[in-house]
Amino acid sequence: MSEYIEVAVALPIEETFTYRVPDALLPLAEPGKRVLVPFGSRKITGYILGNAIPSDHYEIKLILDILDDAPLFPESLIAFFKWISEYYLHPIGQVIQCALPKGLTLCDAAEIVLTDQGKTALSDSLNPLEQKVLKQLETGGVSLKTLIKKCNMTTSLIQLMQRRGWIVRQQKLKGAKRKRKTFKDPFGEPIEPDTAPILTTEQHEAVSRIMNSLKGFSGWLLAGVTGSGKTEVYMRLADAVIRQGLGVIVLVPEIALISQTERRFRARFGECVAVLHSSLSGGERYSQWRRIAQGQAKIAIGARSAVFAPFDKIGLIIVDEEHDSSYKQDNDLLYNARDLALVRAKLSDCPAILGSATPSIQTYYNTGIEKLTEINLNCRVQERPMPQISVVDLRKIRDFRGIRRFISPELHQAMSQTLSKGEQVLLFLNRRGFAAFPVCAECGASLRCEHCDISMTLHKGDNAYKCHFCGFTRSSGANCPTCGSYNIKFLGLGTERVEEAVKALFPQARVARMDRDTTSKKGALLNILKDLRLNKIDILVGTQMVAKGHDFPNITLVGIICADLTLNLPDFRAGEQTFQLLAQVSGRAGRGDAPGRVILQTYAPNHFSIVSAQAQDFKAFCQREIQSRQALSYPPFSRLIQLRISGQDAEQVREFADALGGICRELKKNASFFHAITILGPAESPISRIAGHYRWQILLKSTSSRLLHEFTRQLLAQKSALPHHRQILLTADVDPLFLA
Ligand code: ADP
Ligand code: ZN
Ligand code: ZN
């Protein structure tokens, strides 16, 4: 590299900086390594992006140290980081910081050991510092951190001694080394190597079509019904790609990590798989990252952040269950990994496959305008039938009292039949707790959180009312804060109440519950899944956690307690989310040899989300939904950027939002090309307060993404001119997924 380098710092600053590398460190400088640089009066970490052309307008400072002995990411990723920074309006240094594994400081846990060559060198004439270091090491390995402290060294001097062969650096990370060839799944069971089955006609067709397009960018929607064998298609293609020496990225939704995908790739590909996800320790994450960066691993499987996997050359990117909302990150860098998968595939000249049984509207729309090519898998493998879905109209049993109000006679009967055959039942309700709407029977006030504008939920097991947004808790013996009455009525059903009711209805059955309350402890979720697999559970009650990806052959009945809960959310995607959730949870039934059955209870049997879920017809749903999006000019017919405004003082937040809205209108008035932007708001957010922070929003809408970005950039640049700007957090959410 040249002596002048471009460095991005991990601070909220748009631009990159030029630094100079001292001669001694020049052989160590490489893009993708971290450097320690002087910044104002501080020393901070930055990332080398490449060579820089020095300008004589300002003084160029020297870097202090190079922190890594090998690049953390390949140079080919830098263009991707720059794209993300531009598109998501996020400083490049912070983009890189977000992309890198969190446990990174752990490389300081490396141990430095003296080599034979080093021992010989000790008797030569060395400079005093080198002498000091080697002497330290004579009695055994020392951690890098200690060495830097004791000898007043820099990381780069150590690296230089390493280059001379005097010392070696050993990673001393717990659990980082996997010596044995047998892998274990999260249940602790060994993963046996598998052999590829003979493909079905549909699978074969899908594989050969994509196989013919492995060169250059192409985008695919693999729309396959639940149980149609999409994973097998992914694995065949991955196999072909790694044989060409290229890397493969497989993205899976967060919760599916403990499901089959990782297990099946491991069984097929063994050692060359790296996994990146949140349940790994910092050290493990770092070591997986290094295996990818150094080319030892060829397939990276992980949740959304695996889209940043540091392969130099990529041959295929797969996004399984592409409709899943966990691909959107909702803090710091607000990116969508599904969208970024397509961007990275384009930059890498390789195919991207988005797979789902219930494709998102965005993705389905993209097949219509030929941005993606659609491939269908319409049959389950081994001719297993799709589950049969019957709808129960809850309006007909509205007058029933007690348990019978939400376990209809049809569902009750189907449960009895299923249990008598020794098969399992899954009951789904997308709301946890016992009662979501405690209301005072005297004055009618609802019990609300003190810090959020939202109803508290009664949790009987904990004897408490809880706020699901901030965790604020009150004793379940608390009285009405408005009139003081103790006469509280419980409206709004939650999973805890369903569990209680089911236990009363089927006293012999073994009932378990799976939601965020029962799985918050480490290992709890795994225990439930394990019990389910060992048939130690007869009835499982759960929230959307049960809908995703799990494959339990003995579940033959799925009961959807109330399908309407997500239908009425104040969000234009409510219908889409409801359809996906219902179709996915239905897909949990009948995955084994016995056929499956679904009973779907609803107050709105004619709503098209519900009708198309019953027919398991995602095309019918998408076509209808696309029409209504077009009528309202919502995505995919327009692009959105949501400006989120929050702060602790209600008045300040309102004033700031007003002023920001004023600037929006000003900008639009002054530049004719901004006329194509629609400004909605400022308005109080649907949930107007969370954890003591008042929330307002402005929604910007346009058919031109470029225009919308330019507008927002100009807007954000004026933040410091607005009242109370130091007290207010302003973020721009590009392509927001949840508008609440
Ligand atoms: P999907 O991801 O589409 O829901 P899976 O990939 O999980 O479906 O496949 C469902 C089941 O069928 C898995 O147990 C898988 O091992 C099996 N399977 C997939 N393809 C075949 C095939 N060609 N022959 C036999 N079994 C298959
Ligand atoms: Zn009251
Ligand atoms: Zn709260």
Q: What is the pLDDT of residues 293-347, one digit of tens each?
A: 999 999 999 999 999 999 999 999 999 999 999 999 988 999 999 999 999 999 9
Residue 662 alpha carbon to ligand 3 centre in Å: 31
Q: State whether 409 and 530 are in the same domain.
A: yes
pLDDT for 608: 92
Residue 447 alpha carbon to ligand 2 centre in Å: 9
Instruction: Dig out the tokens for 641 from the structure.
Output: 């950027």
Segment 652-671 shows an average pLDDT of 95
**Beta bridge mates, 8:** 47
pLDDT for 46: 94
pLDDT at 120 over 90: no
> Does residue 356's CB lie within 6 angstroms of at least one atom of ligand 1?
no
Q: State whether 283 and 235 are in the same domain.
A: yes
Residue 711 alpha carbon to ligand 1 centre in Å: 47
pLDDT for 179: 47
Spatial distance between the Cα atoms of 506 and 472, rounded to a whole number of angstroms: 34
pLDDT for 361: 97
Q: State whether 16 and 123 are in the same domain.
A: no
Q: State whether 405 and 532 are in the same domain.
A: yes
pLDDT band at 106 (very low <50, low <70, confident <90, very high): very low
> Does residue 232's CB lie within 6 angstroms of at least one atom of ligand 1?
yes
Q: State whether 613 and 513 are in the same domain.
A: yes
Segment 78-83 shows an average pLDDT of 97
Q: State whether 594 and 655 are in the same domain.
A: no
Q: Is 478 inside any structural domain?
A: no
Contact present, 425 and 535 (Cβ < 8 Å): no
Residue in 331, 326, 268 with CA at minimum distance from that of residue 302: 326
Q: Is 455 inside any structural domain?
A: no
> Does residue 355's CB lie within 6 angstroms of at least one atom of ligand 1?
no
pLDDT for 639: 95
Spatial distance between the Cα atoms of 717 and 709, rounded to a whole number of angstroms: 12
Spatial distance between the Cα atoms of 228 and 223, rounded to a whole number of angstroms: 9
pLDDT band at 30 (very low <50, low <70, confident <90, very high): very high
Residues 414-434 pLDDT 10s? 999 999 999 999 999 988 888
% of the chain at pLDDT higher than 90: 56
Q: Among 563, 598, 628, where does a domain finish?
A: 628
Q: State whether 256 and 376 are in the same domain.
A: yes
Give me the CATH number covering residue 59: 3.40.1440.60
Give me the CATH number covering residue 515: 3.40.50.300
Least confident interval from 376-390, 434-448, 616-630, 683-697: 434-448
Counting from 1 in the atom list of ligand 1, the atom nearest the Cα of 320 is: 2
C-alpha neighbours within 13 Å on the C-beta side of residue 265: 31
| β-pairing verdict for 678-690 and 373-377 | unpaired
pLDDT for 176: 44
pLDDT at 408 over 70: yes
Edge-first strand order for the sheet with 457-459 is 473-475, 464-466, 457-459, 435-440, 488-493
More confident residue, 551 or 516: 516
Spatial distance between the Cα atoms of 223 and 214, rounded to a whole number of angstroms: 19
Q: Is 55 inside any structural domain?
A: yes
Sign of the dihedral through C-alpha 199, 201, 206, 211: positive
Residue 717's identity, in one-letter code, is A
Cis peptide before 682, with omega less than 30 degrees from 0?
yes
Residues 586-613 pLDDT 10s? 988 888 778 899 999 998 899 999 999 9
Q: Is 488 inside any structural domain?
A: no
Q: Is 740 inside any structural domain?
A: no
Residue 441 alpha carbon to ligand 2 centre in Å: 7
What stretches of 617-704 show up as alpha helix (H) in DSSP? 618-632, 650-670
Contact present, 490 and 458 (Cβ < 8 Å): yes
pLDDT at 690 over 70: yes
> Does residue 739's CB lie within 6 angstroms of at least one atom of ligand 1?
no
pLDDT for 171: 60
Q: State whether 615 and 677 are in the same domain.
A: no
Residue 448 alpha carbon to ligand 2 centre in Å: 12
Q: Among 628, 661, 683, where does a domain finish?
A: 628
Q: Is 451 inside any structural domain?
A: no
Q: Is 484 inside any structural domain?
A: no
Instruction: Dig out the tokens for 419 from the structure.
Output: 């249990």
Domain count, the chain: 5
Classify the phi-psi angles of 305: left when phi > 0, otherwise alpha if psi is within -120 to 50, otherwise beta. Answer: alpha
Name the most confidently modeled range: 469-478, 516-525, 635-644. 635-644
Q: Residue 410 — φ and ψ, nearest 5°?
A: -60, -45
Q: State whether 541 and 666 are in the same domain.
A: no
pLDDT at 4 over 80: yes
pLDDT band at 436 (very low <50, low <70, confident <90, very high): confident
Q: Is 570 inside any structural domain?
A: yes
Query: Which domain, by its residues, includes 261?
Result: 201-382
Least confident interval from 44-53, 82-91, 127-136, 513-522: 127-136
Pocket test for ligand 1, best of 231, 250, 319 (most atoms within 8 A of CB): 231
Q: Which strand (E) or helix (H) includes residue 498? A: helix 495-505
Instruction: Dig out the tokens for 372 from the structure.
Output: 């993606």
> Does residue 227's CB lie within 6 angstroms of at least one atom of ligand 1?
yes
Q: State whether 86 and 157 are in the same domain.
A: no
pLDDT at 35 over 60: yes
| β-pairing verdict for 314-319 and 247-251 | parallel
Residues 375-388 pLDDT 10s? 999 998 888 888 89
Residue 220 alpha carbon to ligand 3 centre in Å: 42
More confident residue, 401 or 65: 65
Helix (H, G, I), strand (E, B) or coil at 730: strand
Q: Among 570, 601, 628, where does a domain finish?
A: 628
Residue in 249, 268, 261, 374 with CA at minimum distance from that of residue 315: 249
pLDDT for 522: 79
Spatial distance between the Cα atoms of 719 and 717, rounded to a whole number of angstroms: 6
Residues 209-226 pLDDT 10s? 999 999 999 999 999 998
Q: State whether 145 and 82 are in the same domain.
A: no
% of the chain at pLDDT higher than 70: 96
Q: State whether 703 and 667 are in the same domain.
A: yes
Segment 160-168 shows an average pLDDT of 83
Residue whose Cα lies nearest atom 5 of ligand 1: it is 229
pLDDT for 248: 98
Q: To the nearest whole number, what is the mean pLDDT of the chain?
A: 89
Pocket test for ligand 1, best of 322, 379, 381, 382 (most atoms within 8 A of CB): 381
> Does residue 200's CB lie within 6 angstroms of at least one atom of ligand 1?
yes
Place of tokens 């000249």: 349
pLDDT band at 117 (very low <50, low <70, confident <90, very high): confident
